[in-house]
Amino acid sequence: RANSVDPDEYRDANDTVDPYLRAHVHSLVAALGGPSPVKGGGYVLGDEAQYVLRDLKKWLRAYDEKLNRLDVARCLAESKLVGNDLVEILASWPEDKVEDRRWYRLALSCLELLVPLTWPLERREEMTVNHHRHITYLEYAQTGYKRAILHHRSRKVLKNCVKIALPSLAVPLKERESRDDNIIRLVLYFLRNIAAIRHPDPTEDDTGEDIGRDATIKAFEKDNVLHLMLAISSGMGEDFNVQDVPVSEILFHLLKGVNMKELFMTETQLANKEKENLASLLALEKGMDIARNRDGPTRHNRFGTQIMLTRENGKTATISGQDVLASKEKGLQKIDSSKKWRKPKGGKRQSHEDVYVPVHLSTSAKKIMREFVENFIDAGFNPLFHHIRKDIARDEDRFATSHVRVFFYLVAWFLEAERMRREAALRDNPKEVADSFSIIASVMNQETLIIIQKHMKKWWELKMWSELESVMKCFTQILLTVQDMAASPFEEDQEIAENIQSRIFYEESTLDLVHTILRGYTTQTFDYLNIITELTHVHTKMLERYSKQNTHMFVRAKKSKSSKKKKDATDKNDDSEPEIQQENSTALKEKAFDFKRFEAKLLNNSSVDSFVTFLSYYKELDYSQIKRALSFFHRVFVKRKMEIALYRLDIVELFYRIMQDSEGLPPTHPAYKELDQFTKYLIKCLVRKLQTTPCLYVELLFSKIPKTAYYLMHGRDQEIETRA
């Protein structure tokens, strides 16, 4: 009866996978091959290696994919298949046997295993217990895979993987069969996976630097991956077709978070910048020292000073600490800071994505990237983005939302890089005439604007914030590029710029959308807030200038009557100006105060709130960001004379804190002076107003009611006039 022992009895309840499965997989892995016992013998393939690889692939497909578990992947990670076997096999593909059928099939089989094993592990909603059990382990395992691939001692694993695609790439598009397409796709997805893998949780001991962006870029350069990318993207549409999605994803994973400004700096500039960074950090520290010396204790911490604050109504409050002796203000601050209760905060939405986490590259990696970016803009930008844009516009099913988002992100990134490059060229060589903008023409057209506006609207309505972020970023960069184009010496560029502006500022609904998004800011992330404020800033400025230059500006509004529709129709059919001027004067009149109406819609309580929230991050903002907020407030306060919108205690308190508090900005900050001027002006006007309009003392606490705002603004007399 000894034979009838139930094997399940011996199974460990805590075991992560079925032991039978593990045994199967391990025996397969063992049969694949192993290191030679002879010294210097290298890796020896098992007799049936090709079949073993096929079986492993079947396991992955039939068990993991079909049943939606990750058990086989886990077993393969435990058996170190990638590091001990697959990488070794790929590395030992001899140079002289590139044409060899057997080796080619072997390498391809390895790749077919590597792609699912390195596939990004997404935390989705329909995850099973198994997923939760394995994902963390597998994430660490994947970093190991990446390390093994990038740093194999032969240094040619990636190169050999690229080699697999070469025969298929050589086949002309028309003769290419689906098998060839699959092989190319396999290689590209493999590269995408490698680029996307990052350390899940870097620590001091395990920084993940060896698989970081820097290492990836260097390896990609050395193993011809970057060349492959250039070749495919520049031949997009002619020699290639469906490869646009993986290529753009590889680019995205290589470029996200890279600061293009630094790429286009010379070495001396970089060195200077680093010096400046250090200097500003030191200045900041010094400022902290000064603040501590000013506010800090002058005696030991048990000196035990106690102060009684007596109020006019006889109430008293006791505060301890000698620093309170200095001023009444300090005392009030202390009372406040000793309060324990905090207003419950609504959960802030934090993105877990690393899209905007800045990446630091070494000088050599920067050089590689710069060269690549320049080559890409010159050769690959137009074909690739033209192709993707065309298909997105056609609503092709192969574009998931994430792909569209990657497209917008990349377009924005490269447009900004191109502007930086122009700036750098101008800086190095001011006399040289800049190139024409035709190298980025594929996105500077009506079609791109249409998909941008469409997606902005769609994602806004669906509340897809991170996607909305990418498309707004793209729109902002297009606007900035148009601005540069208008200043170009080439007539053609100027014409295009003019044309685009007239298109952008033609639809009233899209003009309004920018406001709506700004006003709709609630609890999204800081990056989102940063982008909406930037977009609003750039958009409003350009529109203001444009409407000044073009006194005959038409906007297509929603509520157009039938007569107006006809006008629009003529406007649409021929763009010639004289025709329009012959129109009757009512149309002209409407355009004349068009910008003011637009601006009035922009400047309201909610958008003020958005900018106030933005400014409250003042410690992390740089000069241009503070400038952006200030110019908005300046527009509200001085240009539009809507002072009443800023007469709010929380706003006054924020400005006062920035300028005067020990928590505020150091006087060495570049934006300090401008902030100082504005704050003083704001307070001055407010004090004057308070003395003439005592009811403002109460209203100061609230956002104003539109009905009464006019009275508060202008005093009583005008109010009566408007009523009469």
Partner 1 sequence: KKDSMAGVDDEVKIAKRKLRAKLDADRLLGPNGLEKIRKDAPKKLKFKGKGHEYKDCAKLLAFYQLWAHDLFPKAKFRDTLSMIEKLGHNRRIQVARTYYIDEDKRAKAK
Q: Taking the mean position of all CA atoms in its chain, how far away is CA 1? A: 67
Residue where the block lists tokens 């070794």: 88
Tokens of 370: 């710069």
Among 285, 650, 663, 718, binds partner 1 (CB under 8 A): 650
Q: Which residues contact 316 (CB under 8 A, 6 or more apart)?
A: 308, 309, 310
Among 648, 665, 669, 671, binds partner 1 (CB under 8 A): 648
Closest CB 709 distance from partner 1, rounded Å? 10
Tell me how far apart the alpha carbons of residues 497 and 483 are, in angstroms, rounded to a whole number.
7
Residues 475 and 537 sit within 8 Å (Cβ to Cβ): no
Q: Is 302 in the site for partner 1 (CB under 8 A)?
A: no
Closest CB 695 distance from partner 1, rounded Å? 4
- Alpha-carbon distances of 62 from 321, 590, 724, rounded to whole Å: 71, 67, 82
User: Please, where are the H alpha helices in 520-648?
Assistant: 526-549, 562-573, 577-581, 585-592, 594-602, 605-615, 623-634, 643-646
601-614 burial, b if ≥16 CB within 10 A, otherwise e? Answer: ebbbeebbbbbbbb
- Alpha-carbon distances of 497 from 437, 445, 512, rounded to whole Å: 10, 9, 21
Ranges within 336-355 binding partner 1 (CB under 8 A): 336-337, 339-343
Instruction: Measure the CA dihedral 531/534/539/540, to 10°.
Output: 130
Interacting stretch for partner 1, rule CB under 8 A, among 54-62, 139-147, 184-192, 654-662? 654-662
Q: Which residues contact 25 (CB under 8 A, 6 or more apart)?
A: 56, 59, 72, 75, 76, 79
Q: How many Cα atoms occupy the beta-carbon half-sphere of 689 within 13 Å?
A: 23
Q: Is 10 in the site for partner 1 (CB under 8 A)?
A: no
Compose the 657-686 pattern: x for residues touching partner 1 by CB under 8 A, - for all others. --xx------------------xx--xx--
Closest CB 649 distance from partner 1, rounded Å? 6
Residue 364: how many other CB atoms lie within 10 Å: 12
Tell me how far apart the alpha carbons of residues 427 and 409 are, in angstroms, rounded to a whole number.
27
Q: Is 652 in the site for partner 1 (CB under 8 A)?
A: yes
Residues counted in the chain: 724
Nearer Cβ to partner 1 (440/682): 682
Q: Is 710 in the site for partner 1 (CB under 8 A)?
A: no
Tokens of 421: 């490059």
Nearer Cβ to partner 1 (635/648): 648
Among 68, 429, 668, 708, binds partner 1 (CB under 8 A): 708
Q: Is 311 in the site for partner 1 (CB under 8 A)?
A: yes
Q: Is 307 in the site for partner 1 (CB under 8 A)?
A: no
Among 49, 373, 712, 713, binds partner 1 (CB under 8 A): 712
Tell me how far apart the alpha carbons of residues 465 and 349 are, in angstroms, rounded to a whole number.
10
Q: Which residues contact 178 (CB under 8 A, 6 or more apart)?
A: none
Closest CB 531 distance from partner 1, rounded Å? 24
Closest CB 614 distance from partner 1, rounded Å? 16
Sign of the Cα pseudo-torsion (337, 340, 346, 347, in order): positive
Residues 188 and 246 sit within 8 Å (Cβ to Cβ): yes
Tell me how far apart the alpha carbons of residues 124 and 158 are, in angstroms, rounded to a whole number.
30
Tokens of 552: 């005959």
Interacting stretch for partner 1, rule CB under 8 A, among 22-30, 78-86, 299-307, 332-340? 332-340
For residue 401, which of 477, 349, 468, 473 has the smallest C-alpha distance? 468
Q: Going by DSSP bridges, is the β-strand pair 306-310/43-45 parallel, antiparallel, or unpaired?
A: unpaired
Closest CB 681 distance from partner 1, rounded Å? 8
Among 521, 554, 614, 711, binds partner 1 (CB under 8 A): 711
Residues 384 and 236 sit within 8 Å (Cβ to Cβ): yes
Nearer Cβ to partner 1 (238/653): 653
Among 687, 722, 723, 724, binds partner 1 (CB under 8 A): 687
Closest CB 547 distance from partner 1, rounded Å? 34
Tell me how far apart the alpha carbons of residues 690 and 667 are, in angstroms, rounded to a whole number.
29
Tell me how far apart the alpha carbons of residues 711 and 473 are, in angstroms, rounded to a whole number.
40
Residues 481 and 440 sit within 8 Å (Cβ to Cβ): yes
Interacting stretch for partner 1, rule CB under 8 A, among 110-118, 381-389, 508-516, 653-661? 653-661
Residue where the block lists tokens 């020896």: 44
Nearer Cβ to partner 1 (337/576): 337
State phi, psi for 236 to the nearest 5 degrees: -65, 135
Among 286, 649, 663, 670, binds partner 1 (CB under 8 A): 649
Nearer Cβ to partner 1 (352/707): 707
Which amino acid, 41?
A: G
Nearer Cβ to partner 1 (132/688): 688
Nearer Cβ to partner 1 (5/308): 308
Nearer Cβ to partner 1 (359/654): 654
Closest CB 608 distance from partner 1, rounded Å? 12
Tell me how far apart the alpha carbons of residues 502 and 515 are, in angstroms, rounded to a whole number.
19
Nearer Cβ to partner 1 (286/684): 684
Closest CB 315 distance from partner 1, rounded Å? 8
Compose the 562-581 pattern: x for residues touching partner 1 by CB under 8 A, - for all others. --------------------
Nearer Cβ to partner 1 (2/720): 720
Among 38, 129, 308, 698, binds partner 1 (CB under 8 A): 698
Compose the 247-286 pattern: x for residues touching partner 1 by CB under 8 A, - for all others. ----------------------------------------
Interacting stretch for partner 1, rule CB under 8 A, among 242-250, 308-316, 472-480, 508-516? 308-316
Reduced to 3 states (helix: H, G, I; strand: E, B; else coil), residue 316 is strand
Interacting stretch for partner 1, rule CB under 8 A, among 185-193, 565-573, 663-671, 705-713? 705-713
Closest CB 578 distance from partner 1, rounded Å? 52
Closest CB 648 distance from partner 1, rounded Å? 7
Closest CB 656 distance from partner 1, rounded Å? 5
Q: Which residues pair with 35 in a beta bridge?
A: 43
The size of the interface with partner 1 (CB under 8 A), counted in residues, is 47
Q: Is 519 in the site for partner 1 (CB under 8 A)?
A: no
Q: Is 238 in the site for partner 1 (CB under 8 A)?
A: no
Tokens of 423: 């700036």
Residues 324 and 305 sit within 8 Å (Cβ to Cβ): yes
Tell me how far apart the alpha carbons of residues 680 and 666 are, in angstroms, rounded to a whole number.
17
| Site residues, partner 1 (CB under 8 A) | 311-312, 315, 328-329, 332, 335-337, 339-343, 648-650, 652-653, 656, 659-660, 679-680, 683-684, 687-688, 690-691, 693-695, 697-703, 705, 707-708, 711-712, 716, 719
